[in-house]
Chain A
Amino acid sequence: MTSRFKIGNLISSVIIFLTSLAVLLPIYIIVTAAFKNEVDIFDRPIAILTENSGLFNFKQLEMFPLYIWNSIKVTFFCTVIQLGTASTGAYAFSKLKWKGRDSIFLLYLMSMMIPIQVIIIPQFMIIRSFGLYDTHLALIMVASFTVFGTFLIKQFFMTIPDSLLESARIDGAHEWLIYWKIVMPLAKTVLATVLIFSFRWFWNEFFSALIYLTSPELKTLPLGMTDFVTEYMVYYGPQMAAAMISIIPVMILFISLQRFFIQGITSSGIKG
């Protein structure tokens, strides 16, 4: 019995170890290849550094400071707006009583299954008719709400007892005051979770940028990285340098705030 138990443990340790290697390998390749020249990238892929290593790949990314700035700008506005609309929406869906509330929320949830490509033509036409084509505002507008975030915050709001709000209502407090002074301070954790999810989403967001931006000086970081795909000559060094720039901020955020990520996913799953 014990020997079988030990063999089982050994096998699972080996599986976990090998999978860890497989998970780390691409990240390792990105981070090391970013500093290597084209020859070393292929001939010595596993070496951390070679005698030729340097910052030359990063120097080729002339447009990237601008792309990074664009990404920061768009991500900041999208995240802040989403946090606002998701929390007020969640309040309306959980703490206010009105006709059609549950059916509209169901409609919200159902929209999560629509791939963006299915609605992109009319959405594109609407954005263009507003004169927003090729502007950052287009990306911010189409991202002004989040079904996932609204859902997550609503789940939390529902755990706040109504009696807490009732006493304030009897004292004649307006709903906005209750929302701001009572409910929101209690919701800090879930708000942080939504904030992080939105940040991650917009830092990585690709499709809307691909559709709505054409001017090189407006490109966000993920869209900027497609510069390499269309070119005839493919240089992997600068690509890995760009990939490194795109994944490092999110990795740092994840490592320092991982409990929020895990919480967000678990709480969306259990009740789901």
Chain B
Amino acid sequence: MNTKSLEKTPWPTVLSFLLPGFIGFILFVFFPMLSTFLISFTNYSGGPNWKIVGIDNYLTIAKDKHFLQSLVVTVKFVLIGVSLQIIMGLLFAMLLNRNILGQTFFRSLFFMPNVLSSVGISLAFSLIFHPTKGVANQILEYFGLPDSPWLTDPSTALLSIIMVVLWMSFGYYMIIFLGGLQSINSSLYEAADIDGANGVQKFFRVTLPMLSPTMFFALTMCIINSFKVFDQIFMMTGGTDGGGPAGSTNVVVYDIYQNSFRNFRFGYASAESLILLIIILVITVIQFNNQKKWVTYDI
């Protein structure tokens, strides 16, 4: 009976299932990916006159202070944003993993911003963060604190964007961590209780190690997602500023967009794209290689 299951499916059948989605993938992701690589060695700008320029784009990038700033902004954004999202996600997962009144309600409430339109939400936060009369400043004034310029000053613009992203997505990581917490065997906590462990010890010796596969997944997703943030930046500090006051929110994806569709420097933008992709790839590979050191898949 099992002999037939070992046989390979005939190719026409396989292709009839695979191709409907696979054609789109090849045409709009895989092939463009290869093309980006090739275009990055040209000075293509959309017109008929272009030539191969070798690694010129990469040499320009290496000396370009604008791109360097964009990289620094991205690194700041990813480091601060990922830390806050993961910490808040884990904190609220732990708070709502206990039997408290309205547990389900609060889980849904905290997750809800994640499903809403980032464009619509950005409009709302532009109003809330209004530099003179916004609600955020009215709250600060109520507590006797000085006003903040929020999105309009280089020193606070990026943090304001991070707050919006955090508002939208900490609930997503909370749900992921809740799934992880619920899969931890309760006998481990009972054993820790018998050994007289306190809450802090239980967190570091039982919860965190047992949660490490979930943490690995959440971290990987969060880093990748953070590199992709675009809508909020476009809506709140894009506009005529182009990447915020003094370029302070000009993350690399936004810079790529500007160079592609506002400056038409396709070759240069492709080189930027490739550098960004290599950075993301290296981080992901390092994460996967390091997981053996801290991720527990036992039990």
Contacts and interface: CB of A to CB of B under 8 A. Distances in A.
Given A22-B167, A118-B277, A175-B13, A243 B179 contact: no
Interface in A125-176: 125-126, 141-147, 150, 162, 166, 169-170, 174-176
A96 interface: yes
Main SS class of interface, B: helix
A88 B230 CA distance: 31
Interface stretch (A11-19, A54-62, A184-192): A11-19
B123 A228 contact: yes
Nearest to A221: B117
Contacts of B289: none
Given A91-B17, A117-B273, A266-B178, A145 B121 contact: no
Interface residues of B, number: 100
A243 B121 contact: yes
A204 to B, nearest CB: 4
Given A85-B24, A89-B21, A118-B253, 6 more contacts: A26-B124, A97-B8, A119-B33, A206-B234, A242-B120, A265-B172
Given A115-B228, A145-B24, A240 B115 contact: no
A81 to B, nearest CB: 8
Interface in A215-260: 221-222, 225-226, 228-230, 236, 239-240, 242-244, 246-247, 250-251, 253-255, 258
A7 interface: no
A19 B270 contact: no
A240 B117 contact: no
Interface residues on A, range: 35 or more
A121 interface: yes
B27 interface: yes
A115 to B, nearest CB: 4
A23 B110 contact: yes
B230 A117 contact: yes
B117 A204 contact: yes
A86 B96 CA distance: 33
B217 A262 contact: no
Interface in B112-141: 112-113, 115-121, 123-128, 130, 133-135, 138
B218 A247 contact: no
Interface string B231-264: 1001100111000000000000100110011000
Contact of A204 (B25, B116, B266): B116
B180 interface: yes
Contact of A206 (B13, B107, B119, B277): B119
A3 interface: no
B212 interface: no
Interface of B: 1, 4-9, 11, 13-14, 16-18, 20-25, 27-33, 35-36, 39, 91-92, 95-96, 100, 106-113, 115-121, 123-128, 130, 133-135, 138, 167, 171-172, 175-176, 178-180, 183, 213-214, 217-218, 220-221, 224, 227-228, 230-231, 234-235, 238-240, 253, 256-257, 260-261, 266, 269-270, 273-274, 276-277, 280-281, 284
A207 B109 contact: no
